[in-house]
């Protein structure tokens, strides 16, 4: 019965409106949150994420994602009214026994206008390639159950017009960033950074169905978020609240919570070779779905993050025994490729 129910959910995603992948560690997958985040906060960012979910129910759903983005005029941007950035991101998603595989590769371009000291407004665009494949012989379909047990000799009864297709995909996003991290304030640990953004993915609504690609198109995904990092004055503590909202067709996701971070070692004011060392824990909630715990460690710009989703608030609780998904991520950031006497972000 667990497989039948999960198969029904999977079949729904095959023939009607599918949902995008999602990660619980937003800072480790910025380009899947908003194209405008390319070059928004750092001169260079590289991320690698892995997520596996529904292991306790059936064949796990697994996602691997990679991204890199960099400011293009980093050396001269201190004297410019804007800086430009480019990035690429790729993900591979494998869903269930039917091996529904989705590959997506995108090129991102963004520009960030410096409104005033500590205030920037960025616009990002992406375009790329989206491809899906299906192995119908790998799945277990409802027609293959005789009422008592599964029989692989029975016909699945499913008809697919294609088992592989690809499409062009495009989207855009806006990001406002405020930061206050002047050198005189570093010792006091009262620096601030705030990001607010809105994005629209799949603006061209690419075909996304194995049954009727022309008629069944991927819904646009609208993404809005606000997050921040606040240093608590004269302590080693940072608090980082965040709220994220996604809407895609009839699906909605509200994700919110907070990180608590502790600075073990401060960064050098002169060179990027010595950056902060910190540890942190976080507690987040995905509305009507899961409670998420997070942990992270950062050393010299290299960070590792861990998250686990406890499936507590949806209809899959009994089948999953509250076990949702595990996520591991790596990130490397360089805040300033050409370190100057004044510190930014």
Name the residue range of residue 81's domain: 2-334
Q: CATH no. for residue 279?
A: 2.40.160.40
Q: Which of 15-19, 126-130, 186-190, 319-323 is the most confident on average?
A: 126-130
Higher pLDDT, 343 or 20: 20
Q: So what's the pLDDT on residue 214? A: 66
Summarize the confidence of residues 237-251 as an average pLDDT.
94
Query: What's the whole-number average pLDDT of the chain?
Result: 82
More confident residue, 186 or 32: 32
Burial of 227 (0-12, 13-18, 19+ CB in 10 A): buried
More confident residue, 6 or 334: 334
- Which of 19-33, 293-307, 321-335 holds the top average pLDDT? 293-307
pLDDT at 58: 64
Q: What is the pLDDT of residue 13?
A: 43
117-131, 153-167, 181-195 — most confident range: 117-131
Pairwise pLDDT comparison (320 vs 312), residue with the higher score: 312
- The answer to whether residue 289 is domain-embedded is yes
In a domain, 339, yes or no: no
In a domain, 327, yes or no: yes
Q: Is residue 342 part of a domain?
A: no
The answer, yes or no, to whether residue 270 has pLDDT greater than 90, is: no
pLDDT of 76-104, one tens digit each? 655 578 889 999 999 999 887 667 899 99
Residue 343 lies in a domain: no
Q: Is residue 340 part of a domain?
A: no
Whether the pLDDT of residue 38 is over 90: the answer is yes
Taking the model in full, what pTM does it have? 0.83
Number of domains in the chain: 1
Q: Between these two residues, 104 and 137, which has the higher pLDDT value?
A: 104
55 in a structural domain:
yes
Domain assignment present for residue 134? The answer is: yes
Residue 6: is its pLDDT beyond 50?
A: no
């Amino acid at each position: 019965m667990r497989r039948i129910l999960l198969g029904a959910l999977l079949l729904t995603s095959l023939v009607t409106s599918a949902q995008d992948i999602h990660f619980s560690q937003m800072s480790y997958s910025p380009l899947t949150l908003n194209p405008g985040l390319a070059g928004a906060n750092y001169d260079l960012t590289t991320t690698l994420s892995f997520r596996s979910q529904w292991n306790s129910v059936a064949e796990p759903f697994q996602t691997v994602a990679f991204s890199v983005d960099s400011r293009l005029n980093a050396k001269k941007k201190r004297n410019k009214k804007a800086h430009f950035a480019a990035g690429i991101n790729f993900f591979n998603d494998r869903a269930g026994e039917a091996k529904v595989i989705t590959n997506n590769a995108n090129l991102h371009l963004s520009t960030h206008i410096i409104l005033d000291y500590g205030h920037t407004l960025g616009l990002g665009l992406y375009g790329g390639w989206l491809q899906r494949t299906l192995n119908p012989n790998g799945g277990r379909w409802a027609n293959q159950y005789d009422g008592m047990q599964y029989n692989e000799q029975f016909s699945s009864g499913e008809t697919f017009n294609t088992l592989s297709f690809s499409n062009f995909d495009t989207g855009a996003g806006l990001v406002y960033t405020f930061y206050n991290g002047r050198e005189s304030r570093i010792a006091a640990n009262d620096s601030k950074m705030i990001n607010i953004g809105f994005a629209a993915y799949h603006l061209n609504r690419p075909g996304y169905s194995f049954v009727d690609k022309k008629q069944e198109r991927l819904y646009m995904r609208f993404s809005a978020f606000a997050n921040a990092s606040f240093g608590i004055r004269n302590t080693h503590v940072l608090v980082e609240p965040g709220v994220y909202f996604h809407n895609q067709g009839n699906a909605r996701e509200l994700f919110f919570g907070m990180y608590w971070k502790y600075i073990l070692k401060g960064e050098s004011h002169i060179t990027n070779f010595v950056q902060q060392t910190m540890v942190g824990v976080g507690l987040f909630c995905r509305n009507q779905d899961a409670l998420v715990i997070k942990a992270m460690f950062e050393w010299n710009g290299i960070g590792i993050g861990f998250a686990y989703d406890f499936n507590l608030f949806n209809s899959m609780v009994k089948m999953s025994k509250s076990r949702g998904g595990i996520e591991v991520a790596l990130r490397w950031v360089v805040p300033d490729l050409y370190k100057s006497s004044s510190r930014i972000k």
